Amino acid sequence: MELSRQIKTALADPDRKILLMTHIVLGYPSLETNRRVIEQMVANGVDLIEMQIPFSEPMADGPVIVQANQEAIEQGITVRGCLDFAEEMTKTHPIPFLFMTYYNILFKFGVEEFFKKAREIGIKGFIIPDLPPEEGEEFFALSRKYDIAPILIFAPTSTPERMRELSRFSRGFIYCAARKGVTGRQTDFDAGFNDYLRTCRASTDLPLAVGFGISRKEDVDYLTGKADIAVIGTRTINLVNEQGAAAVGPFIAGLR
């Protein structure tokens, strides 16, 4: 798949010891702010961007991202508006963009129609946390048809057998949740985490992205050599809330 090729090319760069992926909630606090934030992220070395289409019940997300989803919806963001904005971003910036959302968004839109539109606008992958492989036959068939990578999630509670099963369906990379629970809380790296990451690595040939609580250069440094992609989400949203969009560029630049 195209996303796999792009990630392999990026990882082959000797100056890229680990890739950075960031997360934004579309429409929060506004699409104009999203536009400025993405521009700064790309200019300062982000390798992939995960754009979340807001949903009313984002069960994998912590309070900061839940609030961002709710406020974006209250301000009138629509799925069509997200698609239009995403098309603008993929045409403006050369890095891969992914959609993160929940399956009801695709179901209500029309699953194949959503895949078709995403392919047309240049989206490279989908992260759908509430869709297990056992319930996603149509989804995974369409991901092959439209060459959009389905990104599945390993968790600390996943057995090696479950990880191997999830890896069979995933493309591009595996998203490794750094801890149990939802996004946002700081993650403690300890021996248990290292054991978990070794189990993840042994269970798949795909690159590993680690997210949930990654918020500092020290976190990225710790993951370098252990994972392939560090995922920063809640921290940049908080940064925009506290200091405005202009603070994102220096923060990203300081992560490596």
Q: How far apart, in Å, are the Cα atoms of 129 and each of 81, 176, 218?
A: 22, 12, 27
Cβ burial of 190 (10 Å; 0-12, 13-18, 19+) is exposed
Which of 13, 32, 50, 219 is catalytic? The answer is 50
Quick check: helix, strand or coil at residue 95?
A: coil
Burial of 157 (0-12, 13-18, 19+ CB in 10 A): exposed
Cis status of the peptide bond prior to 29, with omega within 30 of 0: yes
Q: Which residues pair with 21 in a beta bridge?
A: 48, 231
Q: Which two tokens stand for residue 234?
A: 């809640």
Cα(256)–Cα(249) distance, integer angstroms: 12
Catalytic residue from among 2, 13, 61, 221: 61
Sequence letter at residue 187: T
Identity of residue 214: I
188 a catalytic residue: no
Question: Which residues contact residue 80 at a Cβ distance below 8 angstroms, ignoring those fewer than 6 apart?
Answer: none
Q: Give residue for tokens 């521009």.
A: 39
The identity of residue 251, as a single letter, is F
Determine whether 88 is an active site residue. Answer: no
Largest CA distance in the chain: 45
List phi, psi (to 5°) of 22: -115, 165
- Active site residues per annotation: 50, 61
